[in-house]
Amino acid sequence: MTYRVLVTDEIDPDGVALLRSAPELEVDEVPTLPAAELLERIGGYDGIVGRSATRISRELLEQGERLRVVGRAGVGVDNVDLEKATQLGIAVLNAPGGNTVSVAELAFGVLLALARNVHTAATSMERGAWDRSRLGGIELRGRTMAIIGLGRIGGEVARRARGFGMELVGYDPYVSATRFEDLGVERYDRLATALEKADVLTLHVPLTSETQGMIGPAELARLRPGTLVLNLARGGIIAEDALMDALRSSRIAGAALDVFAGEPLAADHPLRSCPNLLLTPHLGASTTEAQRSVAVEACAAVRDALVTGDLSAALNAAGVGGTGWAELRSLLELADRLGRLGRTLLPGALNTVELRYAGPREEAPRPLLLAALRGALHDVVDRRAINLVNAQHVATERGIETAWTQVAGRTEGGQDIELRMDGGDRSVRVGGAVFGDTHGRITRIGSFRVDIAPRGTLLVLRNRDVPGVIGRVGTLLGEAGVNIAEYHQARLNAGGEALAAVSVDSPLTSDTLDRLSHLPEVLDARQVQMD
Which residues are marked as active site? Answer: 234, 263, 282
**3-state secondary structure at position 424:** coil
**What is the 8-class DSSP label of residue 18?**
H
Which amino acid is located at 423 in the chain? G
* Angstrom distance (rounded) from CA 325 to CA 317: 8
**3-state secondary structure at position 320:** coil
**Is-contact 521 466, C-beta < 8 A?**
yes
**What is the 8-class DSSP label of residue 238?**
B
**Strand order through the sheet with 352-358:** 401-407, 352-358, 414-423, 426-435, 441-445, 448-452
Largest CA distance in the chain: 84
113-152 in b/e burial notation, b at 16+ Cβ within 10 A? bbbbbbbbbeebeeeeeeeeeeeeebebeebbbbbbbbbb
Which amino acid is located at 144 in the chain? T
The β-bridge partners of 202 are: 147, 230
Nearest to 154 by CA among 211, 222, 114, 77: 211
Nearest to 5 by CA among 312, 311, 303: 303
